[in-house]
Chains A and B, each alone.
Chain A
Amino acid sequence: MSAHEKHQHPVYGLMAEFDSAQDLIEAANRTREAGYKKIDAYSPFPIEGMAEAIGFHKNGVPLVVLIGGIVGGLTGYALQYWIATMAYPVNVGGKPFHSWPSFIIVTFEMTILFAGLSAVLGMLALNGLPMPYHPVFNVPRFALASKDRFFLIIFASDAKYDAAGTRQFLEGFHPRSLSEVPS
């Protein structure tokens, strides 16, 4: 974003506060249906159907975990195969160097290890975390988002956003409070 554009959008978005998960999900659904695309919702716990309500469908986590698991399993087996047959072959009781049944356990553990770490790191990376600063934290009431309040934001970067109209639109939901989020 250039300095010029930044000047045009001194506001990050408009944020409405609700008392219940039900109010939030209804407001989010109607906002999406009204044509707003760049919206987000904040809640103190995961709400079923919330992602769909804000129009979020892409979830890359399963693919990351699958790739992590495959890479982990292949790494584990290849490591053992290479060590047992090439790098450090040891004759144990006349068993073949490539004694694959013995290699299953470490292959399994490596699969789980890589897949599990991919789940955690992939989830954090896709979520853009860790992120110490975010504009929504500038709203003092936002501290309640980790307790018992529910917030809906329409970002100023949305094509349909205009300061007065969007404010009027959100007021239609009778939110508990309505705050402008400075960027």
Chain B
Amino acid sequence: MAEQEEALGRSAPVIEPGHTFATVTDKISSIVLTRPTSKSWIVGFTVGFALTMMMLFAIGYLVVRGTGIWGINIPIGWGFAIVNFVWWIGIGHAGTLISAILLLLRQSWRNSINRFAEAMTLFAVMAAGIFPLIHTGRPWLAYWMFPYPNTMGYWPQFRSPLIWDVFAVSTYFTISLVFWFIGLIPDLATLRDRSHNRFAKIIYGILALGWRGSARHWHRYETAYLLLGGLATPLVLSVHTVVSFDFAIAIVPGWHTTIFPPYFVAGAIYSGFAMVMMLAIPIRKIYNLEDFITDRHLQNSAKVMLATGWIVAYGYGMEAFMGWYSGNKFDSFLLWNRLHGPYAVWYWALLICNIGIPQALAFRKMRTSPLWLWLISLVVLVGMWLERFIIVVVSLHRDFVTSSWGMYYPTKWDWMTYIGTMGMFLAAIFLFVRILPMISIFEMRTLLPEAEVKE
């Protein structure tokens, strides 16, 4: 039995033995309450903050001068803004997947990574949301996309996938935010009761809403949490589906395919888990959380990446197959152009990053080595960014009429905005681990053997 478990890679426990309710509580809450702010935290936050300022500068200049400062042109009207939007929103899928879908599937190992995966989701969706907003060219009029009675007598066009996107992304952000917040309430109560700093006590006290752990409250709480999980599950699958409709509803070769929704969703989960690993591996090392984020978590996440990577590979295969099988000359030209055109080097890089290198995860040695797992996750994130670049730019740059062909070169403003959003994401993550419990304390308590009661 033990050997079988070992062979299945289930031998590593979800939580190391020897912990009690008190030690779990103290260990996680002390990171926020008593651990002094380290030099590396200050350095990391400063870097993130500085990059955020760079992003704001780039956006400020954009508002003054208009989207002409970017590399976009006709025919490539979408460029970096949409590439980065899709990339970030994809990363934002892992959080809700982990907290909702794995909740419904009763995968209790999720309890130690769901909190910061959800936080990561929120920050990634914030970073994503910036791009379509500034891409409108006049971001101060973005509220026109929402249906509200106005003196212009105008209403949004609900037959447009871009309006679907507004609803999908804003619903996703709202639901992710409330899901994260209600998960935090009992832990905020713990921080309120543990904190010795009066200011912290008041702030955590307000945020905890007066939570006192009553059995009646827990009962309704669990029902609401489970129902939210059930609602968030189709939602998370719908978000990237709707994002893929932005492409698939159009008739551009390389976009107009029915494989897009499932392949976008799989790609989103793929990159989302890669980002979770990128963050979890250093965090568990720095904060000595190997007891809670064990090798089991790394292995399971690696397996999810491996499986979703195969779905993505199938998607690429199907695109290539349809390019050949459809007999449509524009579709087969697209395939030829990807493999041999001016951006071919990036298409090959994409295949190596997303299909080639991640196959190493099939080996247990790779899945259990934090360093290798971190590096492979980085490769996947690069690969998934390249995928969106190929989809947006290569499809647009050579369409039906040769006279309208063009090339796309991102400018320094494109790069400053993109790297700036990474800084914003980083700064937000640093703030989060400093002021909120990054692991769900009450859900960790339920994993302990003492939490079980006999009838």
Contacts and interface: CB of A to CB of B under 8 A. Distances in A.
B149 to A, nearest CB: 9
B443 interface: yes
Interface stretch (A6-14, A120-128, A157-165, A166-174): A120-128
Interface stretch (B41-49, B218-226, B326-334): B218-226
Contacts of B443: 45
Interface stretch (B207-215, B273-281, B353-361, B380-388): B207-215
B446 to A, nearest CB: 5
A144 B25 CA distance: 11
A65 B190 CA distance: 28
Nearest to A111: B231
Interface string A18-34: 00111001001000000
A177 interface: no
A122 B443 CA distance: 22
Contact of A62 (B22, B147, B193, B223): B223
Q: Is the interface of B mostly helix, strand, loop or mixed?
A: helix
Contacts of B210: 129-134
Given A59-B223, A102-B159, A22 B212 contact: no
A123 B223 contact: yes
A148 B212 contact: no
Interface string A27-44: 010000000000011111
B238 A51 contact: no
B117 interface: no
Given A88-B155, A112-B175, A146-B189, A51 B446 contact: no
Q: Is the interface of A mostly helix, strand, loop or mixed?
A: helix
Contacts of A102: 158-159
A145 B213 contact: yes
Contacts of B168: 105, 109
Contacts of A59: 219-220, 223
A130 B212 CA distance: 11
Nearest to A101: B159
A92 B454 CA distance: 64
Contacts of B76: none
Contacts of B181: 120
B193 A146 contact: yes
B221 A46 contact: yes
B158 A147 contact: no
A47 B215 contact: yes
A46 B222 contact: yes
A119 B7 CA distance: 41
A119 B153 CA distance: 35
A156 interface: no
B260 to A, nearest CB: 14
A81 B233 CA distance: 27
A124 B223 contact: no
Contacts of A113: 171, 174-175
Contacts of A5: none
A115 interface: yes
Nearest to A104: B164
B212 A147 contact: no
A70 B238 CA distance: 19
Interface string B145-185: 00100000111111100011001100100110011011000
Nearest to A147: B25
A168 B190 CA distance: 31
A42 B21 contact: no
A106 B175 contact: no
Contacts of B205: 132
B158 A84 contact: yes
A95 interface: yes
Contacts of B228: 116, 119-120
Given A88-B154, A120-B178, A147 B22 contact: yes
A116 B158 contact: no
Contacts of A41: 214-215
Contacts of B221: 46, 123, 127
A51 B218 contact: yes
A40 to B, nearest CB: 5
A40 B174 contact: no
Contacts of B3: none
Interface string B431-455: 0000000000011011000111111
A123 B182 contact: yes
Nearest to A103: B158
A45 B223 contact: no
A99 interface: yes
A124 B185 CA distance: 11
B62 to A, nearest CB: 29
B265 interface: no
B445 to A, nearest CB: 4
Contacts of A21: 450-453
A87 interface: yes
A67 interface: no
16 contacts: A21-B452, A40-B214, A41-B215, A44-B442, A46-B222, A50-B219, A51-B215, A53-B215, A59-B223, A79-B147, A102-B158, A109-B235, A129-B210, A132-B210, A143-B193, A147-B25
Interface of B: 20-22, 25, 147, 153-159, 163-164, 167-168, 171, 174-175, 178-179, 181-182, 186, 189-190, 192-194, 205-206, 209-224, 227-228, 231-232, 234-235, 238, 242, 245, 442-443, 445-446, 450-455
The 8 closest A-B pairs by CB, nearest first: A148-B21, A123-B224, A130-B209, A51-B219, A88-B155, A131-B210, A46-B218, A143-B193
Interface of A: 20-22, 25, 28, 40-51, 53-54, 56, 59-62, 65, 69, 79-80, 83-84, 87-88, 90, 92, 95, 99, 102-103, 105-106, 108-110, 112-113, 115-117, 119-120, 122-124, 126-127, 129-134, 136-137, 142-148
